[in-house]
Copies of this chain bind each other. A is one copy, B any other.
Amino acid sequence: MLGRLNHVAIAVPDLGAAAAVYRDTLAAGVSPPQPLPAHGVTVVFVDLGNAKVELLEPLGEDSPIAAFLARNPAGGMHHICYEVDDILAARDRLLAQGARVLGDGEPKIGAHGKPVLFLHPKDFCGTLIELEQV
């Protein structure tokens, strides 16, 4: 079921500073900041060739990463995204195994324009997992 590692999302309090760390200190390729109001974040993509890091800064009220940054004011790894071929089959398999899918269990269109679901960290080693259908 589990496919490739698509990205690791790092929540940061200051996106400009975080992008500078990756661009200047680590000499990685970074995108311009992209506001995603529907997702409550502004994102900078770090291209690592085989996968991405996504630097996320809260955007607007009720950002989904606001609580995480309140607990981790310096930032930190927020979630890991794995690819799946069929997100509904993946969801049904997970539910049948007793794992919890966040929200109403219906895939939403994620930041890459593809269907995504988030899984409960308590069922996955304390890690927030995003599944993205590719």
Contact = CB atoms under 8 A, between A and B. Distances in A.
B97 A3 contact: no
Nearest to A1: B27
Nearest to A69: B126
A76 to B, nearest CB: 4
A4 B125 contact: no
A36 interface: no
Q: Interface centre among A3, A74, A123, by most B CB within 10 Å?
A: A74
Contacts of A75: 125-127
Q: How extensive is the interface on chain A, given as a class?
A: 35 or more
Contact of A99 (B25, B94, B123): B25
Q: Interface centre among A21, A26, A46, by most B CB within 10 Å?
A: A26
A116 interface: no
A73 to B, nearest CB: 8
Interface in A17-67: 18, 21-22, 24-28, 46, 48-51, 53, 55
Contact of A12 (B55, B97, B125): B125
B49 A10 contact: no
Contacts of A74: 121-122, 125-126
B24 A97 contact: yes
Given A2-B22, A26-B82, A26-B94, 19 more contacts: A1-B26, A2-B46, A5-B8, A5-B51, A21-B123, A25-B94, A25-B97, A25-B99, A25-B123, A25-B124, A26-B124, A27-B93, A50-B51, A51-B51, A74-B121, A74-B125, A75-B125, A76-B126, A77-B77
